[in-house]
Chain A
Amino acid sequence: MTVEGLSASYGPVRALDDVSFTVEEGSITAVLGANGAGKTTLLRTITGLVPATGGTAMFRGVDLASRPPEEVVRAGVAHVPEGRGVVQELTVEENLRLGGSFRRDRDGTRAAIGEVYEMFPPLAERRRRSTFTLSGGERQMLAIGRALVARPEVLLLDEPSLGLAPRVTTQIMALLRTLVAERNLTVLLVEQNARGALSIADRAVVLVLGRVALQGPAAQVASDENLRHHYLGY
């Protein structure tokens, strides 16, 4: 996926300013930066929740940013939003079914749901229960699982580690790494937790006040103490 010159505003505030970067197929790209740097806005603009004031987000010849959000998953891009977006009023199973509801292929969806249950046994145990009782980590699993039911090629994740215990975060990160390896998934990962993200990412893009401050191989960014200190706070 190629993002070029993407800009977006909230009223008079320029949240994104001419952001450009490329995401390679089958890789994990981490988008990092402080609070308010525009990371969430980036994902929301890519998937059309926020109207772009300029630029494009091309994937397989389609400019995602100019399409309505409901078309984006049909193009093969699944967005797990900030806060996970688990629909509380629905059961675990219903949330998963929702992930595949845009497709006519009922059997394919059911198979995909089965795979998700295999991947996440705690979800299988609670399939008919309300999502109320899920822990944070389980909710994240549900959100990711739901996105996977759509069989996407690209997965956009907004701060999956938010509110999760460190151990659970590590598990999630490892899971992402596995998914990429097994399914040739492409992941665009927005994270506040830079260290965790960099540990699994191939490339890193750092946003400062809506602009790309730097981008490069993740290992490079992780090992450069100056960079880390200046932009990522550790």
Chain B
Amino acid sequence: MRLFIDYTLSGVSSGMIYAAVALGLVLIWRSTRILNFAQGGMAMITTYIASALLEHSVGYWAAFAVALLAGLALGAATERLLIRPVEGRSPVDAVIVAIGFLIFLEALAGAIWGASPRGFPAPFSQVDYLVGGRAIAFTPFDLFVVLAVLALMGVMLLLFRFTEVGLRMRASAFAPEVARLLGVRVNRMLTLGWALATMAGALAGLFVAPAVFLSPNYMDSILIYGFTAAIVGGLESPLGSLVGGLVIGLAISYVGGYLGSAFEGAGALGLLVVVLMVRPSGLFSRVQARRV
């Protein structure tokens, strides 16, 4: 029973990270109908930037802020330069561009910073909390992660529901042509969507690094988990990515705990396949399957 509680707790904290990645994927999917496979790679770059700043004695929170800003900038630049040209083309083209970009980023990181894993600090203690004298698999850092991701989701929700910009972004995603006729600068909204999404990814990258160590490929499996979480949650809603993240986090935690960590990836893959077989467009999605 105690193991179960521990697995559940660690599943929740890692699930939140997957939810952040999923949120980024969902934002981009909603606005440009592209699955950004380079999401993990971009998060890796922003985390390396933070790491480089830390090496030069910049404080953690300053580096944290810079990483998020770098995420905004990187996302906007990527959409403008790499994605805009393939937006109208076959979706496979965009996938290939993203993959190419991903391996380029990984090679870039390897060239600049080397491939050997390096440590990355956590802003809060990573010592287990004590409950009733016993250690549980939850640390102050985990609590921070949970709160930070919830805050991110909350900010996104407020942005979309209650601001003019959010309204314009939603309109650009749902009905770009009509939005144009209403004066919405749709292209700018798409760029903004990418910027926000990459910032969400940057946040996830900063949260993953302390446990797993920073290396050019360290976000690869996180991307897959985030992707699975996004699919499980249905690619249409931020709430879905939260739910999806938690589901995946818990599932992987249980699989890893009870069956061994070698099976975590297989577990995610299995879950992904099952969900897609049952509902090819995700669980929450409102889009009906195309029937002839």
Chain A residues in 8 Å Cβ range of B185:
70
A87 touches B174 (CB 8 A): yes
Which of these binds chain B: A20-28, A93-101, A113-121, A159-167?
A93-101
**Cα separation A103 to B185 with both chains bound (whole Å):** 12
Q: How large is the interface on B (under 10, 10 to 19, 20 to 34, 35 or more residues)?
A: 10 to 19
The verdict on B255 contacting chain A, using a C-beta distance below 8 Å, is no
CA distance A69 to B177 in the complex (A): 8
A71–B185 Cα gap in the complex (Å)? 9
Residues from chain A with a CB closer than 8 A to the CB of B168 are 98, 101
Q: Does A122 lie at the interface of the complex (its beta carbon under 8 Å from any beta carbon of B)? A: no
- A contact residues, range: 20 to 34
**Contact between B181 and A102, CB atoms less than 8 A apart:** no
B178 CB within 8 Å of chain A: yes
Instruction: List residues of B (141-178) whose CB comes within 8 Å of A's CBs.
Output: 164, 167-168, 170-171, 174-175, 177-178
Q: What per-residue 1/0 map shows which CB atoms of B164-200 lie under 8 Å from chain A?
A: 1001101100110111111111100000000000000
Interchain CB contact under 8 A, B184 and A70 = yes
Q: How far is the CB of B184 from chain A (nearest CB, A)?
A: 6
B164 — which chain A residues lie within 8 A by C-beta? 97, 101
Residues of B within 8 A of A79 (CB): 181
Q: Is the CB of B181 within 8 A of A81?
A: yes
Within the complex, what minimum Cβ distance (angstroms) separates B131 from chain A?
44
CB pair B183–A70 under 8 Å, yes or no, is: yes
On A, residues with C-beta under 8 Å from B are 47, 49, 68-74, 78-79, 81, 85, 87-90, 94, 97-99, 101-103, 146, 150
Q: List 23 A-B contacts (CB under 8 A).
A: A49-B180, A49-B181, A70-B180, A70-B186, A72-B181, A73-B182, A79-B181, A81-B178, A81-B181, A85-B178, A87-B174, A87-B175, A90-B167, A90-B174, A97-B167, A98-B167, A98-B179, A98-B182, A98-B184, A102-B182, A102-B183, A103-B183, A150-B182
Interface residues of B (CB under 8 A from A): 164, 167-168, 170-171, 174-175, 177-186
